Each structure stands twice: as structure tokens, then as C-alpha cells.
Amino acid sequence: MAPLRIALAQVNPTVGDLIGNAAIVLRETKLARDAGAELVVFPEMMLTGYPVEDLALRESFQTASLGALDELATALVTSLLADIHVIVGYLGRVDPAAPAAPAAPAAPTARAAGAAGAAGDHALGAPRGAPQTCAAVLFGGEVVATYAKHHLPNYGVFDEFRYFVPGESPTVVRVGQSDVAISICEDLWQDGGPVAQVSELGADLLVVLNGSPYERNKDDVRLELCARRAREAGCPLAYVNMFGGQDELVFDGDSLVVDANGTLLARAPQFTADLLIVDVGESHSSANREALSDEAEVYSALVLGLHDYVTKNGFSSIVLGLSGGIDSALVAAIACDALGADNVYAVSMPSVYSSQHSRDDAADLATRTGLNYRVVEIAPMVSAYLGALNLTGLAEENLQARVRGTTLMAISNQ
């Protein structure tokens, strides 16, 4: 293939924030163009954030996503970025011009029912409005091509067949002197999926948009998969993944590019933003990033997940119990790294069973990290409950934990 400079935008979108996510696209596209890239690729569902879950079934949100896509195409022109191809994920629907249909009763066996109808139709098992997880190619102020995800995962943390209608057609777009094929996330994992068509289509490059959640050692699995699929497709493969936390999920980035032989050309770090610039079609030596240890990988995922859960939900601080034990010490350390010590409020709640050693350890950790710290003696409260209710057995054993929980809740509301 002719040399092509591409940029993979490993970024952190927020679910529902169409304006903020579009602003990220504009910012990263400018950086990519300034670096000489002809093509910049963003993750799956970039404009809407991922996973959108039930938002996908709202007609207003479907319409807003399509409108945001058109507005983004125009904004690229007004920002003097009309001369670079931008591939961005968004929420589409089978017929973008049609309104969403009323909800239809669900039928577990009607797995493919939604694939046949337009957005105005409805059938058993078809998601309302026939939404799709899509990728659009923007250039010159227009949407020049679109692609809808073919394979919808319905295992583990995924429930995509509830929300989306699968696509059926491949998409290849001309960028400079190269033909670029597009796939989305699960399409890469399925044997005989859209990747199998890439070689037949004669594409020079396959780009894959991803919302791939973190799992321990998944980076090794991704690299092997991308290498295998590149060899099957007979062309280089560029894999861009989002990073960030969304509720219980964490996305670790780990974007990468391999050549047609499956040799690694470039790789982005995990758990952080990155704009990976790669000249595809030129000779490269194998590129390896510094890998995290298993412990550092898990810790980074916990810090990122907590940070984004707190900030994306609009919280300003957190409150936690600090017992002096290892478990609460680890939680406090994660919280300080995620949010800054000034935004962490730790409460020691000693009882008659608390040793002086535990009290000292809690105070020492607070001093070392710099978090906000206070002590609330719960022994009088526990004694008052026991004296009033005469609790015994399991109820008595659980009382101390309940008093601590109530104390933390009261402090968090102060």
C-alpha cells in the first residue's frame, strides 16, 4: 500500500455528553492534522459514550446522536479541518430519517427479527427504533460513508442484542491512495466475520473501533488476535480503544497497529489518553511499549475506574471508613491516587474491640497520604443500642458494622 499516516485517538468519552464528546473529537483531530495525519480514528460510540444501554432505545437520543454527527461534520469545516478523514463512532439507526417505532414485546427466540425491518417497522424482539452502533467517515463537511456493527455481543458484561440491530454490509472508503475497511469491536473477535471479507475487497488497511473493557492480561490476547486478523485480511490493522471508567466498567486503551504479517508497529499505553501516530505502509521495526506488571495493571484499573465514577457522576469528594487494617488502607490509597487527598475524607470509628495498634495505623496512613481525617468513637452508640434492645447472637455481631455505616452516611451528608 501507499504510505498513509494515521492517528488513533485513545480518548475518554462520557455517556450522554454529546457536546463534550464532539469537542474531544475536534481537539484530537486538530492535533492529528498538525502531526501530518491523513486519517484519525476514534473509538466505538465516541459521540455518545459507551455503553449507552437503554439510552439507545430513546427516540430523542437517537435523533440527538444523528444531529450531533451532522454538526460535527460542519464543525470540522469551520475549524479548518475539512482536509482530514475522521472516523468516529456514534448511535445510528437502520433508517436515519425515520422516527423510532413504539416498543414491541420482547421475544427471546426472535434474535434476528430487527435485522429485516426499517426503523418505522416493529417486530418481536426488535429494539425500539432499530438503533445501531455505527461508524461514520467524515470528510469535507460531509458524512461520506457509514458502517454498522455486524456482531452484537451478548455475554459477560454485554447485552447488545437487546439494544441494537446488526449491520450486514461492509464499508471501504478511499483515503489518499489507500482503501480503508472498517469494523467495530466484536466484528474482530468473530471467526468468519467482516474481517474475512477485507481480503476479498482488496482493502489496504483495516481500522477497528473498540469499546473493549479491561480484563487482566487481555492486552496479550488483543495483540495475538489483531496479528491473526491482519494476516487473514492481508493488510495492516489499526485497533483503537477508548480508555476510562463507566459505572462498573473500565476501558484500558491499549490501542495498537500491526502490519500485514502481524508484526507490531506501534502501541499506546494503558489507562491514559494517547494520540498514536503511525506511518502505515512504510518499513518499521517492531515497537513495544513498556508493559505494566500484573499488580500495576490491576491497581491502575481501580484508580481509573474510581476516578471516572466519581467525576462523571458529579461528586466532589468521597467518605470512607479507615480501620487501620490492610483492606481499608488500600481503599484509601486508591482513593487518594484517583481523586487527590484533599477530596478524600476518612473516618476512624473505633469500638471496644479496636486495638491501639489499629488506631495508630489509621492515623499514620492519614498523615502519610494527607487525606482529611477524623475520629468518631462508636462505643457509646453501640452500648446504647445493646442496652435498649438487648441484642444477642448474630444481631449483636452485626450491630457494630451497622453503626459504622450509619455514621459514615451521616458524615457524608454534613
Residue closest to 230 by CA, chosen among 194, 263, 276: 263
Q: Taking a C-beta distance cutoff of 8 angstroms, is the pair 357, 330 a contact?
A: no
**Which stretch of DSSP H or E encloses residue 384?**
helix 379-389
Q: Which of 185, 226, 235, 336 is catalytic?
A: 185
Q: If DSSP codes are grouped into helix, strand and coil, which group holds residue 2?
A: coil
What is the separation, in whole angstroms, between the first and last Cα of the chain? 63
User: Rounded distance, CA 169 to CA 191, Å?
Assistant: 17
DSSP assignment of 42-89 equals: --TTTTT-S--GGGGG-HHHHHHHHHHHHHHHHHHHHTT-TTSEEEEE
Q: Which of 28, 44, 186, 297 is catalytic?
A: 44
User: Rounded distance, CA 142 to CA 82, Å?
Assistant: 9
- In the block, residue with C-alpha cell 455528553: 17
Q: Which of 149, 186, 226, 312 is catalytic?
A: 149
Q: Is 44 a catalytic residue?
A: yes
User: Rounded distance, CA 356 to CA 352, Å?
Assistant: 10
Report H helices in 166-293. Answer: 186-189, 195-201, 218-233
Q: Is 149 a catalytic residue?
A: yes
Strand pairing class (344-348; 318-321): parallel
Active site (catalytic) residues: 44, 149, 185
